[in-house]
Amino acid sequence: MAQIAKHEGIVTAIENGLVKVEMHVLSACASCKAHEKCGFVDKADKVVEVEAPEWQQYHVGDKVMVSVNESLGLLAVLLAYFLPAIVIIAAVIVLSIYTPSEALVAFIVIALIAVYFVFLYFMRDKLQKKFSFGIER
C-alpha cells in the first residue's frame, strides 16, 4: 500500500492548469525541544507546481494540502545521490587500474558525473510527469 506524504501550503499563483503552492518545510530537528538553543533548525520555503484539472476553484492565498507518494522520495534519493555515488566509485576503481595519472582519473570522473546530471536535465519532462503532486483543500 502506497503511503502519501502531505504538507500544508498556500496558493501563490494560478495559471492555466497549474497551481503554484508555497510550503514552509521544517527539518526533523524542528521537533526537538532543544532546537532553539543549538541553532541547527533547517527551515525553507519550497514552491511546487501542481497540475490541477480543477484549477479554477483555487484562489491566491488559499490554504491547501499538497500530497505526493512517499516512494517517489526513495526514487529521488536513488537518482540524485545513490546512482552518482556508484558511478564515481566504479569509475575511480576502473580508471585507477588503466590510467596512471590521478589528475586524469579525477577529470574523467567529474566529466562522467556532469554527463549524468546533464542526462537527468534532459529527462526532466519525463521525470516531472513521474514526480507529480496532488492538491486538495
* pLDDT, one tens digit for every residue, the chain (137 residues): 466 788 899 999 998 888 999 988 765 555 565 555 455 555 677 888 888 888 888 989 999 998 887 778 888 899 999 999 999 999 999 999 999 899 999 999 999 999 999 999 999 889 887 877 888 88
Evaluate whether 55 touches 14 at the Cβ level (below 8 Å): yes
Would you say the pTM of this structure is higher than 0.85?
Answer: no
Q: Which of 84, 130, 133 is nearest to 110 (CA)?
A: 84
All structural domains of the chain with their residue ranges: 4-136
Residue 68: which H helix or E strand, with range? strand 63-69
